[in-house]
């Protein structure tokens, strides 16, 4: 039976005594995996690598900011909540941290089907940071070092593996200290050549109050490894003093009465239902647009060419793109005891005095005071088509990238990439083959495949619409889809695996019990006289069939058949969802099998597409050479690929497989002729 985590967290002041502040304090100078960066991607990567069994080092510039919520104090949402549930199903941190730190829980999109529901929570910043730090510091095989990385150590590649370079470790800044590793995971966030913008003021950095990252890292990636690098931008709004806001002029938005936990291991959240805090909704006015337009000449960030997040734009971008409209502004609490409000929808980079003028054009904020001004960030990212599905750089053995360095935006996208990069970095270090997640089995698979197959032209955000099989990839069944696989990979604990097995067996037994309850529609009407169903149906209906009706719940069926169904009451909602989506999932099975078969058809990474003796246009050859898809399935999703090109590639893969099979068969025949059949060599058969 799942329960609420009751971890005793160390006080945040004591965290600094549990890590190393100098490399000389480390017990070793070689690790299996080194993770650079302590944000959402880095913390998940480090924890996952350690769970796999790798000796892991997490290097971060500032101990106190490990697990910090740099922007919005929230987790989850539409599409993003799916990622949180999947990270949790693989024993990641952010779901349990969200349950610990959440102060306002709600499920978005409830007016639509459960497949696209978006679990979301407002978070207490301090609680979230404390939880993540406590988890990391209690993880076996994981060491944390406060420091800055100057550059990567690059050596000659292993000739037995693809790639032109090999990463052998890191060099720390302000000294010649070298730390070697088999795998390195870079999770630099917005710090890779980051620049901060406030009005016309520009300064180096990736987050206000933190030191900028070393330029040597960018040099290594771009000049030494030859990676294609682009530039993106993002921003954050000013933080407002809560007491200066007239909340009576806003629309109150209470949380759900009963919080829905992110983690499959929890049935309750730390914050009790009555302790949750509300959010508040207000709107911009024509005065906001006027201030934006009058101050454009003072705002150099908005004039830059770097692409910003389309789905979380600054107020300047929204006004310029949609003139004359009123825009939503959500006032969100930053913690149970915090005196600050986060105005979601008001990211801005104009001078601080102009920011104050702008926010006071909104009625509830007419006397608002700014605690911290908003600012913009520009940073480098590595074009993610240069990565394999394991999130390893194709031309550099042992180098993995995760988070905003891959062109994504959002905590959830970063956490998902971090976990998967950490898993594969550890597997490589331990001489295990890379692991893959298909887009048919997870949103993490969709995320990774989109990045490595299609690349990005703007910060990538997850939506449910990106998944072809979203009726199968639901928030409620992430444990059934991923926990068993995670256990096989070694990143899921025995405790979680045991719970997932219990849940799976219970659901299977409950579905069998429902399917065993079979009778005519007339008989069902007698049992449940209040339901709306036609009595003209001649075929027999099972309890599973009946659950597909909107006005039929599992509780209703259990009240009629308590002996067979009452033991499964804890799964009532999950069983209802399973029944509703069963017809859709059954229809998808053939298409899923087709995609999975295509993904099993690998394309050689050293193939010369320009000389390949296959009927392909020059444009298609250029696309294949640029993106170098690892499988036929990945090739089908490249923009510009034609059905004819895919068909010809398919023929090529089949022919190549057939030739390889014939060659291996001839080799076996030759060995047999020499009396050297492998399975009989030096063996004596029982008499």
Please give the pLDDT value at position 344.
Answer: 95
Please give the pLDDT value at position 441.
Answer: 93
What's the per-residue H, E or C state across 507-542?
HHHHHHHHHHCEECHHHHHHHCCCCCCCCCCCCCEE
Cβ proximity of 69 and 332 under 8 Å? no
Q: How many CA atoms lie within 13 A of 413 on its CB side?
A: 24
Q: Using the predicted structure, report yes or no on whether residue 559 has a pLDDT greater than 50.
A: yes
Cβ proximity of 68 and 41 under 8 Å? no
pTM: 0.88
Please give the pLDDT value at position 3.
Answer: 45
Please give the pLDDT value at position 434.
Answer: 95
Please give the pLDDT value at position 271.
Answer: 96
Please give the pLDDT value at position 502.
Answer: 97
Q: Per-residue pLDDT tens for 281-320?
A: 999 999 999 999 999 888 876 766 666 666 678 899 899 8
Cβ proximity of 41 and 186 under 8 Å? no
Please give the pLDDT value at position 682.
Answer: 36
In the predicted model, what is the mean pLDDT of residues 661-681?
55
| Higher-confidence position of 597 and 557 | 557
In the predicted model, what is the mean pLDDT of residues 84-112?
97
Please give the pLDDT value at position 308.
Answer: 65
Instruction: Among 304-308, 435-439, 562-566, name the one with the lowest average pLDDT.
Output: 304-308
31-190+228-234+379-491: CATH topology is FAD/NAD(P)-binding domain (3.50.50)
Place of tokens 């394991």: 390
Q: Per-residue pLDDT tens for 17-42?
A: 456 666 667 777 899 999 999 999 99
Q: Using the predicted structure, report yes or no on whether residue 393 has a pLDDT greater than 70.
A: yes
In the predicted model, what is the mean pLDDT of residues 53-81?
95
Region 496-590: CATH code: 1.10.10
Please give the pLDDT value at position 464.
Answer: 92
The CB-based long-range contact list for 576-581 (8 Å cut-off, 24+ gap) reads 576/547, 577/114, 577/474, 577/476, 577/477, 578/477, 578/507, 578/511, 579/514, 579/544, 579/545, 579/547, 579/548, 580/113, 580/114, 580/547, 580/548, 581/113, 581/114, 581/115, 581/471, 581/472, 581/474
Q: What percent of the chain has pLDDT over 70?
A: 91
Please give the pLDDT value at position 649.
Answer: 83
Q: Per-residue pLDDT tens for 481-498?
A: 999 999 999 999 999 999
Q: Per-residue pLDDT tens for 148-206?
A: 999 999 999 999 999 999 999 999 987 668 999 999 999 999 999 899 999 988 888 88
In the predicted model, what is the mean pLDDT of residues 117-144?
96
CA 71/CA 40 separation, integer angstroms: 12
Please give the pLDDT value at position 481.
Answer: 97
Query: How is residue 602 annotated by DSSP?
Result: B
For the chain, give the number of residues. 687
Please give the pLDDT value at position 668.
Answer: 58
pLDDT band of residue 662 (cuts 50, 70, 90) is confident
Please give the pLDDT value at position 311.
Answer: 65
Distance of CA 235 to the CA centre of its chain: 20
Spell out a b/e string for 587-600, using b for 16 or more CB atoms within 10 Å of the CB, else e.
ebeeebeebeebbe
Mean pLDDT estimate for the chain: 89
Instruction: Among 79-88, 381-390, 409-418, 638-647, name the one with the lowest average pLDDT.
Output: 638-647
Please give the pLDDT value at position 475.
Answer: 96
Please give the pLDDT value at position 494.
Answer: 97
Instruction: Among 66-80, 429-443, 621-635, name the one with the lowest average pLDDT.
Output: 621-635
239-376: CATH topology is Elongation Factor Tu (Ef-tu); domain 3 (2.40.30)
Q: Using the predicted structure, report yes or no on whether residue 508 has a pLDDT greater than 90.
A: yes
pLDDT band of residue 5 (cuts 50, 70, 90) is very low
pLDDT band of residue 514 (cuts 50, 70, 90) is very high
In the predicted model, what is the mean pLDDT of residues 115-133?
97
In the predicted model, what is the mean pLDDT of residues 458-470?
91
| Higher-confidence position of 644 and 88 | 88
CA 457/CA 329 separation, integer angstroms: 27
Cβ proximity of 191 and 234 under 8 Å? no
Instruction: Among 5-14, 262-271, 379-388, name the one with the lowest average pLDDT.
Output: 5-14
Burial label, 370 (beta-carbon count in 10 A; 0-12, 13-18, 19+): buried
Residue 71: helix, strand or coil by DSSP?
coil
Sequence-ordered list of residues with C-beta below 8 angstroms from that of 261, at least 6 positions apart, any chain: 4, 95, 99, 267, 268, 269
Would you state the CATH architecture of domain 600-676? Orthogonal Bundle (1.10)
Task: Label the pairing between strands 56-60 and 30-36.
Answer: parallel
Domain residue limits, the chain: 31-190+228-234+379-491, 239-376, 496-590, 600-676
Cβ proximity of 288 and 358 under 8 Å? yes
What's the per-residue H, E or C state across 413-459?
HHHHHHHHHHHHHHHHHCCCCCCCCCCCCCHHHHHHHHHHHHCCCCC
In the predicted model, what is the mean pLDDT of residues 569-573?
95
Q: What percent of the chain has pLDDT over 90?
A: 67
Please give the pLDDT value at position 679.
Answer: 37
Q: Per-residue pLDDT tens for 216-264?
A: 898 899 999 999 999 999 999 999 999 999 999 999 999 999 999 999 9
């Amino acid at each position: 039976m799942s329960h609420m985590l009751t971890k005793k967290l160390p006080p945040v002041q004591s965290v600094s005594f549990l890590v190393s502040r100098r490399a000389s304090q480390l017990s070793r100078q070689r690790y299996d995996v080194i993770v650079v960066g302590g944000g959402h991607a880095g913390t998940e990567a480090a924890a996952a690598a350690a769970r796999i069994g790798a000796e892991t080092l997490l290097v971060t510039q500032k101990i106190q900011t490990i697990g910090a919520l740099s922007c919005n104090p929230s987790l989850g949402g539409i599409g993003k909540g799916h990622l949180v549930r999947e990270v949790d199903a693989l024993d990641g941190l952010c779901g349990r941290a969200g349950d610990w730190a959440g102060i306002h829980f709600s499920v978005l999109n409830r007016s639509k089907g459960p497949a696209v529901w978006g679990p979301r929570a407002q978070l207490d910043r301090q609680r979230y940071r404390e939880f993540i730090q406590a988890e990391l510091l209690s993880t076996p095989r994981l060491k944390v070092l406060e420091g800055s990385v100057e550059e990567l150590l690059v050596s000659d590649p292993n000739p037995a593996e693809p790639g032109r370079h090999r990463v052998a470790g890191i060099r720390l800044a302000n000294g010649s200290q070298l730390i070697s590793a088999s795998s390195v995971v870079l999770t630099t966030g917005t710090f890779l050549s980051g620049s901060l913008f406030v009005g016309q003021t520009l300064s180096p950095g990736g987050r206000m109050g933190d030191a900028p990252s070393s330029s040597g890292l960018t040099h290594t990636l771009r000049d030494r490894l030859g990676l294609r690098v682009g530039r993106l931008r993002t921003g954050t709004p000013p933080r407002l003093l809560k007491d200066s806001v007239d909340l009576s002029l806003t629309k109150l938005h209470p949380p759900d009465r009963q919080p829905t936990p992110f983690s499959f291991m929890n049935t309750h959240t730390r914050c009790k239902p009555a302790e949750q805090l509300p959010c508040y909704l207000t709107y911009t006015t024509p005065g906001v647009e006027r201030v934006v337009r009058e101050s454009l000449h003072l705002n150099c960030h908005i004039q830059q060419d770097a692409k910003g997040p389309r789905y979380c734009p600054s107020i300047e971008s929204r006004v310029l793109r949609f003139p004359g409209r009123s825009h939503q502004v959500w006032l969100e609490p930053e913690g149970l005891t915090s005196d600050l409000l986060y105005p979601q929808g008001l990211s801005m980079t104009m001078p601080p005095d102009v920011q104050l003028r702008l926010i006071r054009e909104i009625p509830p904020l007419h006397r608002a005071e700014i605690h911290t001004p908003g600012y913009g960030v520009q940073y480098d990212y590595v074009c993610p088509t240069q990565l394999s599905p394991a999130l390893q750089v194709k031309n550099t053995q042992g180098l993995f990238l995760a988070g905003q360095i891959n062109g994504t935006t959002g905590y959830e996208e970063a956490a998902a990439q971090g976990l998967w990069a950490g898993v594969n970095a550890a597997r490589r270090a331990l001489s295990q083959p890379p692991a893959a997640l298909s887009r048919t089995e997870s949103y993490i698979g969709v995320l990774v495949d989109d990045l490595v197959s299609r690349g990005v032209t703007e910060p990538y955000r997850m939506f449910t619409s990106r998944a072809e099989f979203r009726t199968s990839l639901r928030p409620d069944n992430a444990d059934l889809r991923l926990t068993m696989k995670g256990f096989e990979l070694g990143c899921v604990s025995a405790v979680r695996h045991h719970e997932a097995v219990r849940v799976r067996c219970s659901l299977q037994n409950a579905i069998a019990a429902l399917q065993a309850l079979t009778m005519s529609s007339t008989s069902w009407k007698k049992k449940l006289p209040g339901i709306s169903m036609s009595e003209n149906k001649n075929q027999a209906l099972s309890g599973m069939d009946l659950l597909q009706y909107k006005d039929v719940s599992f509780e209703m069926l259990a009240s009629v058949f308590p002996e067979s169904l009452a033991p499964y009451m804890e799964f009532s909602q999950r069983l209802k969802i399973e029944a509703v989506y069963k017809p859709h999932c059954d229809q998808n099975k053939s298409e899923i099998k087709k995609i999975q078969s295509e993904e099993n058809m690998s394309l050689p990474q050293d193939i010369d597409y320009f000389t390949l003796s296959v009927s392909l246009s020059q444009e298609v050859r250029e696309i294949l050479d640029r993106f170098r898809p690892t499988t036929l399935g990945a090739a089908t999703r490249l923009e510009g690929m034609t059905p004819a090109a895919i068909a010809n590639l398919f023929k090529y893969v089949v022919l190549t497989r057939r030739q390889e099979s014939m060659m291996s068969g001839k080799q076996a025949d030759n060995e047999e002729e020499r009396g050297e059949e492998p399975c009989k060599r030096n063996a004596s058969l029982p008499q």
